[in-house]
Each structure stands twice: as structure tokens, then as C-alpha cells.
């Protein structure tokens, strides 16, 4: 029952998670053993549900373990998500075709350099989070260790759709 004088709101509210990725730093143990003189390409994949993944454009990196991304992803949140999952992917280019996004040692051509997650119900429930997320992966002995960091900011935006 609606009290007299009160208005009803017939609006749908969409929630968007704005992910701004600034910089990445990674420890690549394969480059210590086998120096690679070509370019490597990196991209970040972020998701709250594995069925709906969002990826940045690829960034070319020449012989460095620290680089700028400066890219933004907009993720629709259709349901309350507990975590944002983040993966840093790498692919080397061949000298014959410098534009390829393939690594011959994998079936898909991409190598997961590190994975991390951010709890969305904690610091971001008030709308914003900014900082560095640790990226973890397996080393050559199959032990989990920190492989690098990803500097980013998150912002929850609620948009009224009529």
C-alpha cells in the first residue's frame, strides 16, 4: 500500500563496475633463463563471472618487467558479485609475423602470467577502491608465489534507466 502523497519510482537501476588499469609489474622467470629479444604483448582480463569476461587491448612491451596500461573496462553487474577476478596474459610475437598474438608453447597462444582477485563487498561497497592487486601464479616447481602487481582503481556506478 502506498501512502497518500508518495510517488512510486518505476526505474530500473543498472550497476556498472568501472575498472581503470594503470600499470603492471611482473616477474617472468622464463626471461631469466632464456633471454628473449623480441616484443611481448600483454592484456588484462577481468570478470566476476567466467561466462562474461572483459579484456583490455594488447600492450606491446620491449624487454621490461614494468609498463603502462592506462585502459578502462566497464563491467555490467547483473547480480551482486563477491570478487573481481583479474588475469594478466602474455604472448610473444614471432619474427616472421610481428602482429600475431600466439605463443607456440600453448594451445591458445596465451600464457597466464598471474592471477588476482579483489573483494567487492569490502572496500568497494562504498563506491571506490584504488591500489595495487597482487598477481599470483605457479613457478617452475609448481609452487604458488607472487608474480607481480597490477595498479588499478575500481568504482561502482549505479545508473537509473527509465
- Say if 1 falls within a structural domain: no
Integer Cα distance of 81 and 92 in angstroms: 33
- Whether residue 7 lies inside any domain: the answer is no
**Three-state secondary-structure class, residue 99:** coil
With respect to residue 6, please indicate whether it lies within any of the assigned structural domains: no
Has residue 29 been placed in a domain?
yes
> 3-class DSSP state for residue 110?
coil
> Residue 37: inside a domain, yes or no?
yes
Q: Are 103 and 114 in contact (CB under 8 A)?
A: no
Residue 59 sits in a domain whose CATH number is: 2.60.40.150
105 inside domain: yes
Q: What is the pLDDT along the chain (162 residues), one digit of tens a residue?
A: 556 666 666 678 888 999 999 999 887 665 555 565 667 888 999 999 989 999 999 888 876 677 889 999 999 988 888 899 999 998 865 433 444 444 455 556 678 889 999 988 755 556 788 999 999 988 778 888 898 999 999 998 888 876
Domain count within the chain? 1
Q: Where are the beta strands (DSSP E) in 10-127?
A: 12-26, 39-49, 52-55, 59-62, 66-77, 83-92, 111-119
151 found inside a domain: yes
Tell me the pTM.
0.76
Distance (Å, rounded) from C-alpha 73 to C-alpha 135?
18
Please give the residue range of the domain that contains residue 146. 12-161
Amino acid at each position: 500500500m502506498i501512502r497518500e502523497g508518495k510517488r512510486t519510482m518505476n526505474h530500473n537501476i543498472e550497476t556498472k563496475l568501472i575498472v581503470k588499469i594503470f600499470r603492471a609489474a611482473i616477474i617472468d622467470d622464463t626471461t631469466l633463463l632464456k633471454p628473449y629479444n623480441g616484443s611481448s604483448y600483454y592484456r588484462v582480463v577481468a570478470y566476476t563471472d567466467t561466462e562474461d569476461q572483459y579484456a583490455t587491448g594488447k600492450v606491446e612491451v620491449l624487454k621490461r618487467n614494468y609498463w603502462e596500461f592506462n585502459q578502462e573496462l566497464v563491467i555490467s553487474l547483473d547480480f551482486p558479485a563477491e570478487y573481481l577476478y583479474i588475469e594478466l596474459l602474455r604472448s610473444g610475437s614471432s619474427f616472421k609475423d610481428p602482429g600475431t598474438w600466439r605463443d607456440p608453447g600453448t594451445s591458445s597462444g596465451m600464457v597466464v602470467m598471474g592471477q588476482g582477485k579483489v573483494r567487492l563487498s569490502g572496500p568497494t561497497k562504498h563506491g571506490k577502491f584504488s591500489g595495487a592487486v597482487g598477481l599470483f601464479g605457479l613457478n617452475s616447481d609448481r609452487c604458488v608465489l607472487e608474480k607481480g602487481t597490477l595498479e588499478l582503481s575500481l568504482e561502482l556506478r549505479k545508473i537509473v534507466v527509465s
